[in-house]
Structure 1
């Protein structure tokens, strides 16, 4: 079994409840966007550097996932570039807090703790978990 398959299977163990899954499908992209927004508020080059570092990890796991994450990251960075700089930090903080609150509510419903409590890599696997559903619907192998 490939490392990506093992990681997704382990992640899925604490994300089986349909309500928790829906919450994650909404909140994980929001968290990624707002995390990039928080970093962008420091400096846009730092946000791009973080994306490139994450993509390097994703390429090792699955080049097809890395391609999908590159596209999504590019869209998020483009949106940040278009936003007025004065709104990026407060907007990112507000949505970040709301999205994490949603995540913890989802895990309360699930009855299991978040995966990243056992392994920080799952902070990077969460977006791939969401992307895997899209890939399966579009019949794209990863």
Structure 2
């Protein structure tokens, strides 16, 4: 097989994660993100669930379409995480989901901004809104690396 000597083209997921990682290098910021990003996803799903559970399922399905376009393994991981979050929402007392989700959402975003203050860099989504969807993959990437799962 003949090689051209040209570098292999990077996958879009690799480019996005690399760009996202540029503003997430400080270990404290990484820990904060590993806590706050899942909390934000769960609380956002909770607020949407409070409006109507089918809307939460629709949001998950829409995000999964995007995730599958980037990486099948990441999409499968997000499918498992989303399914677990939706199952938890189904088990919680329905009357308090909106208020609890809103409080967690606000507190988790405060945590994120504290992390970026420590980092000394603005959040990635200020430059590109896609990074709101890449954050969960960035966190999932930590788990995948620990488990030796490629994406």
Per-residue Cα deviation, 1:94-121 (whole angstroms, up to 9, x for no partner):
1100000000000000000000000000
Residue 64 of structure 2: aligned partner: 55
Residue 91 of structure 1: aligned partner: 100
| SS of 1:119 mapped into structure 2 | coil
Return the structure number with greater helix share.
Answer: 1
RMSD of aligned residue pairs (Cα, Å): 0.3
Residue 117 of structure 1: aligned partner: 126
Shift of 1:64: 0.3
| SS of 1:140 mapped into structure 2 | coil
Of 34, 44, 50, the match for 2:43: 34
Structure 2 spans left out of the alignment, 5+ residues? 1-9
Structure 1 spans left out of the alignment, 5+ residues? none
State TM-score, norm by structure 2: 0.94
Larger radius of gyration: 2
Shift of 1:29: 0.1
Q: In the alignment, is residue 130 of structure 1 matched against residue 139 of structure 2?
A: yes
Of 17, 22, 27, the match for 1:13: 22
Per-residue Cα deviation, 1:44-96 (whole angstroms, up to 9, x for no partner):
00000000000000000000000000000000000000011111011101110
Q: Distance in 2 between matches of 1:133 and 1:26?
A: 12
State TM-score, norm by structure 1: 0.99
Which stretches of structure 1, 4 residues or more, deviate above 4 A after TM superposition? none
Q: Distance in 1 between matches of 2:68 and 2:56?
A: 18
Aligned residues: 142
